[in-house]
């Protein structure tokens, strides 16, 4: 930052994970500049952190008032963004002119402060609420130094957010990822775990009732006579020929394009020209897909019709779609902020039972060292919630219900929210004694009080507020007087810290990047009294496998982990749900039959934190970059060998056989060596080398096969990547397309199959009389199929690894015959998963 400031920059932006020292970094920046400083924070908890840090650094007074007449002032964003309801609204009125008089006075004080340094802490909030206002305020302060601090990685910003950051700060000065902070030893090693549940009997019955009408409607939707322009006919017209080209369409309408390709995978739509099916498309249609397709059909077709038949279709949709959490009108189909189905799953009673089970598992692992935090959305469930009013089961998931579920657990728990501090009577007595020793002037005014509807709990009531009880209860918890703290995300999220937290159980539904990072950050602080601390974060997920909207909680779980790196069971640091379990897909939840085994595996993993800690390899060098990895998993009975040893050499001679026998000078000169080599086959790895060499010959990746990195993980799956970052995405996509089931390729190529192993085959090779016994068809990856020079590069690489073979255009007689024989088939019994890994 110092170097950038010397270059003349006055606006700086830094991204660091929670707990990595943003406040200390900001304080050093203020001390270096030596100017009067104003820090804006999102809440009073973080405001308090800044005032305490200043007091440790400097003996001069700190202020929390708007007059700005001291060396250091800590304020909340709300102290500025207070608007006068009587002011005119509209785009023509600047936001600063609409401020309340207190806000206008603060702006005037900022302008009059002279040379000043402004720190915008947790500045991701600017992108959500206060950004436009701060832009106006700072535009009138060109001489001010401005430092933006955030835990939100720049890669997660939307285009609009990125543009606002560029306007406020320019490009980022420094960014460090969570894995980098762990490897440096600034954050604790951690693992993400999941506990998977299913709805209870009452919830299941309601879900069954809600989905029955939609199941009937689905049959009608696929009927060629349903509507004057049936859905599938509309999709044929809509996606058959996209005027702007498929790639442009997919960029402009990503959700609709994804849904269309899932319709292709279901066999209900021909593959659009230029489109390719990848992992995310080879899954069943979700409710989001139905929403996108039906919205396009209703908004683009049915709404313009005055035919009573189409009116009846819209009426059917209005009646049936709420069963899967969608709403229909003449304008189209939409998904409400949270559907009834999603509310039932996200607040299932099964999650409350799971939280208690997890606490028990963690207590077995840690004993008295356990410091678990359970994060909920709300303190109490409303008896008249929106879901209950519409006949849905009662909502669960409140902090009070979690406390009730822990009644039989071998731990002491305290409930702490913005309104209440409560626990079982013996724990409250200990808490009151603890407060009396620390703050006797507060304790004397407090008393235990019974809580209506919670007979096993008592509240510590009196004339105090969360600003007083949060630090006291946090210390009570951190010092081990209780092992579990239950509360809401509003209080235990951003700004709340306890270095001793070992376990976080996430029952909340917030899934924005900033909310997820802030919640996860509560457990990652280094504990100065326990250098071997390893933190675990548990996500509890409820899945209804037989309901069309039953994956909504799983999709939220996926969003929470999207772009978030963690260590997996094989010691790889990967992004998304695969770091929770390598088998997890971001596109579809695990099978019902696998849930018990998954939970058992998670419980076992939680018992050995030492292994998790070692997998992070704290202190070892790193590059702090992500790269694309293709994970290839055998389905069993693979037609391509899966067990092999990587080597960047050409395939053995018999694998280079053409249809007319063995080819090559080496074979003619040393036939006995050819016979010996016949037992060696690079199998699956050869496919990766083939693609890398084709990229090299096509001028896309100079190292070729020598640049391929291969790892066989603990599950027996292959992980392929390139050592150089820029081309790894192209490589992974091309290899995935090569191994994927054949749909509608532009070109196909055949791999000749070798004769069975044995002495006879060896003698046939020896005398140059060996012939292939069959062939397997592959689709030529799109990166090579679309240009002649790259097709030639692919053919040359293919000849090196698998022997000479002709590339057949799909519309040629040979290509049509090949496609008729191989459509829908994969060349190997494997499935592929594209992942992002950190190194």
Where exactly are the structural domains of the chain?
Answer: 2-176, 181-200+348-410+502-619, 207-338, 412-482, 626-838
Structure confidence at residue 676 (pLDDT): 33
Structure confidence at residue 339 (pLDDT): 75
Structure confidence at residue 445 (pLDDT): 93
Structure confidence at residue 48 (pLDDT): 85
> pLDDT tier at 687 (50, 70, 90 boundaries)?
very high
Angle at 150 between CA 370 and CA 728, to 5 degrees: 90
pLDDT (tens digit per residue) in 399-410:
999 999 998 889
What tokens were used for 187?
A: 């954050």
Structure confidence at residue 763 (pLDDT): 44
Neighbouring residues of 829: CB distance < 8 A, sequence distance ≥ 6: 634, 635, 636, 637, 638, 639, 640
The span from the CA of 49 to the CA of 61, in Å, is: 15
User: Span 226-238, mean pLDDT?
Assistant: 92
Q: For 87-101, 415-429, 540-554, 814-828, which range has the lowest pLDDT when averaged over its residues?
A: 87-101
Structure confidence at residue 92 (pLDDT): 66
> pLDDT tier at 2 (50, 70, 90 boundaries)?
low
What tokens were used for 822?
A: 């191989």
- The better pLDDT of the pair 130, 418 is held by 418
* Helix 466-478 vs helix 425-438: crossing angle, to nearest 10: 100
> pLDDT tier at 761 (50, 70, 90 boundaries)?
very low
The span from the CA of 578 to the CA of 838, in Å, is: 13
pLDDT (tens digit per residue) in 120-146:
888 776 766 677 788 888 888 888 888
Structure confidence at residue 4 (pLDDT): 66
C-beta separation of 719 from 710 below 8 A: yes
Q: With a cut of 50, say whether residue 456 has pLDDT above it.
A: yes
What top-level class would CATH report for the domain 2-176? Answer: alpha beta
pLDDT (tens digit per residue) in 591-611:
999 999 999 999 999 999 999
Question: How many C-beta neighbours within 10 Å does residue 56 have?
Answer: 8
Structure confidence at residue 773 (pLDDT): 52
Structure confidence at residue 86 (pLDDT): 60
Structure confidence at residue 205 (pLDDT): 87
Angle at 165 between CA 159 and CA 170, to 5 degrees: 120
Query: How far, in Å, are 223, 262, 317, 543, 591 from residue 214 at the CA level?
Result: 14, 19, 9, 18, 22
- The better pLDDT of the pair 4, 36 is held by 36
Q: With a cut of 70, say whether residue 369 has pLDDT above it.
A: yes
User: Span 674-701, mean pLDDT?
Assistant: 74
Structure confidence at residue 104 (pLDDT): 85
Q: With a cut of 80, say whether residue 673 has pLDDT above it.
A: no
Phi, psi for 509 (deg, rounded to 5)? -105, -5
- The better pLDDT of the pair 324, 114 is held by 114
pLDDT (tens digit per residue) in 5-64:
666 678 888 888 888 888 888 888 888 888 888 998 888 888 888 888 888 888 888 888
Structure confidence at residue 101 (pLDDT): 84
Top mean-pLDDT range of 131-135, 461-465, 582-586: 461-465
Q: With a cut of 70, say whether residue 730 has pLDDT above it.
A: yes
What does the mean pLDDT of the chain come to?
83
> pLDDT tier at 363 (50, 70, 90 boundaries)?
very high
The span from the CA of 765 to the CA of 286, in Å, is: 52
The span from the CA of 262 to the CA of 277, in Å, is: 8
Q: With a cut of 50, say whether residue 397 has pLDDT above it.
A: yes
The percentage of the chain sitting over the pLDDT mark of 70, rounded to a whole number, equals: 87
User: Span 679-695, mean pLDDT?
Assistant: 80
Structure confidence at residue 296 (pLDDT): 92
> pLDDT tier at 583 (50, 70, 90 boundaries)?
confident
User: Span 461-474, mean pLDDT?
Assistant: 92
Structure confidence at residue 637 (pLDDT): 37
């Amino acid at each position: 930052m110092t170097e950038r400031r010397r270059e003349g920059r006055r606006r700086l932006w830094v991204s660091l994970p929670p707990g990595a020292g943003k406040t200390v970094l900001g304080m050093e920046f203020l001390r270096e500049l030596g100017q009067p400083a104003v820090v804006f924070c999102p809440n009073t908890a973080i405001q308090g952190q800044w005032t305490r840090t200043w007091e440790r650094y400097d003996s001069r007074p700190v202020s929390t008032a708007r007059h700005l007449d001291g060396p250091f002032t800590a304020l909340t964003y709300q102290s500025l963004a207070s608007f006068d309801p009587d002011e005119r609204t509209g785009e023509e009125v600047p936001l600063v002119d609409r401020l309340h008089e207190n806000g206008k006075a603060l702006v005037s004080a900022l302008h009059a402060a002279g040379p000043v340094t402004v720190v915008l802490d947790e500045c991701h909030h600017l992108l959500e609420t206060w950004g436009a206002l701060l832009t106006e305020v700072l535009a009138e302060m060109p001489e001010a130094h401005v430092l933006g601090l955030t835990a939100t990685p720049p890669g997660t910003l939307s285009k609009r957010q990125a543009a606002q950051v560029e306007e406020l700060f320019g490009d980022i000065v420094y960014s460090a990822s969570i894995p980098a902070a762990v490897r440096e030893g600034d954050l604790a090693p951690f693992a993400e775990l999941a506990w998977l549940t299913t709805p209870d009997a009452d919830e299941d019955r309601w879900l069954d009732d809600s989905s029955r009408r939609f199941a009937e409607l689905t049959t009608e939707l696929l009927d060629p006579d349903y509507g004057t322009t049936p859905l599938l006919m509309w999709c044929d017209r809509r996606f058959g020929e996209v005027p702007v080209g498929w790639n442009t369409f997919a960029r402009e309408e990503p959700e609709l394009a994804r849904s269309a390709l899932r319709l292709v995978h279901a066999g209900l739509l021909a593959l659009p020209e230029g489109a390719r099916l990848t992992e995310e498309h080879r899954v069943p249609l979700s409710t989001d897909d139905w929403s996108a397709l039906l919205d396009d059909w209703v908004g683009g077709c049915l709404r313009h019709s005055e035919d009573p038949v189409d009116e009846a279709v819209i009426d059917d949709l209005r009646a049936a779609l709420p069963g899967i959490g969608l709403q229909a009108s003449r304008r189209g189909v939409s998904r409400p902020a949270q559907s009834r189905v999603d509310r039932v799953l996200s607040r299932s009673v099964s999650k409350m039972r799971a939280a208690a089970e997890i606490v028990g598992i963690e207590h077995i692992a840690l004993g008295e060292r356990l410091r678990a935090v359970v994060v909920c959305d709300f303190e109490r469930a409303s008896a008249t919630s929106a879901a209950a009013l519409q006949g849905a089961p009662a909502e669960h998931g409140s902090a009070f219900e979690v406390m009730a579920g822990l009644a039989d657990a071998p731990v002491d728990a305290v409930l702490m929210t913005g309104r209440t501090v409560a626990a079982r009577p013996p724990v409250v007595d200990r808490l009151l004694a603890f407060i009396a020793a620390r703050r006797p002037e507060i304790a004397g005014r407090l008393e235990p009080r019974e809580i209506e509807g919670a007979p096993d709990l008592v509240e510590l009531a009196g004339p105090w507020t969360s600003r007083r009880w949060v630090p006291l209860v946090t210390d009570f918890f951190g010092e081990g007087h209780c092992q579990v703290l239950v509360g809401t995300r509003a209080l235990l999220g951003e700004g709340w810290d306890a270095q001793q937290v070992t376990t976080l159980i996430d029952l909340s539904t917030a899934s924005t990047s900033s909310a997820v990072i802030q919640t996860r950050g509560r457990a990652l602080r280094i504990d100065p009294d326990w250098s071997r601390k390893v933190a675990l974060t548990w996500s509890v997920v409820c899945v209804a496998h037989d309901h069309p909207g039953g994956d909504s909680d799983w999709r939220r779980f996926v969003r929470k982990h999207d772009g978030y790196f963690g260590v997996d069971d094989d010691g790889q640091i990967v992004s998304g749900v695969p770091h929770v379990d390598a088998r997890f897909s971001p596109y579809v939840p695990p099978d019902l039959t696998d849930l018990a085994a998954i939970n058992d595996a998670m419980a076992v993993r939680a018992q050995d934190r030492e292994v998790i800690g070692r997998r992070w390899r704290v202190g070892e060098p790193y590059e702090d970059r992500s790269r694309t990895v293709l994970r290839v998993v055998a389905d069993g009975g693979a037609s391509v060998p899966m067990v092999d040893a990587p080597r960047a050499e050409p395939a053995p001679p018999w694998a280079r056989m053409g249809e007319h026998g063995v080819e090559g000078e080496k074979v003619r000169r040393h036939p006995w060596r050819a016979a010996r080599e016949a037992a060696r086959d690079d199998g699956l790895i050869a496919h990766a080398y083939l693609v890398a060499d084709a990229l090299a010959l096509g001028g896309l990746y100079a190292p070729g096969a020598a640049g391929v990195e291969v790892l066989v993980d603990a599950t027996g799956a292959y992980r392929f990547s390139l050592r150089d970052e820029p081309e790894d995405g192209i490589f992974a996509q091309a290899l995935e397309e090569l191994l994927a089931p054949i749909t509608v390729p532009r070109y196909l190529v055949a791999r000749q199959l070798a004769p069975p192993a044995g002495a006879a085959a060896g003698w046939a090779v020896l005398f140059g009389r060996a012939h292939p016994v069959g062939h397997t068809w592959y689709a030529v990856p799109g990166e090579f199929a679309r240009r002649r020079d790259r097709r030639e590069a692919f053919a040359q690489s293919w000849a090196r690894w698998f022997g000479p073979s002709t590339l057949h255009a799909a519309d040629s007689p040979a290509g049509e015959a090949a496609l008729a024989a191989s459509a829908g088939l994969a060349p190997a019994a494997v499935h592929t998963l594209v992942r992002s890994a950190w190194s």
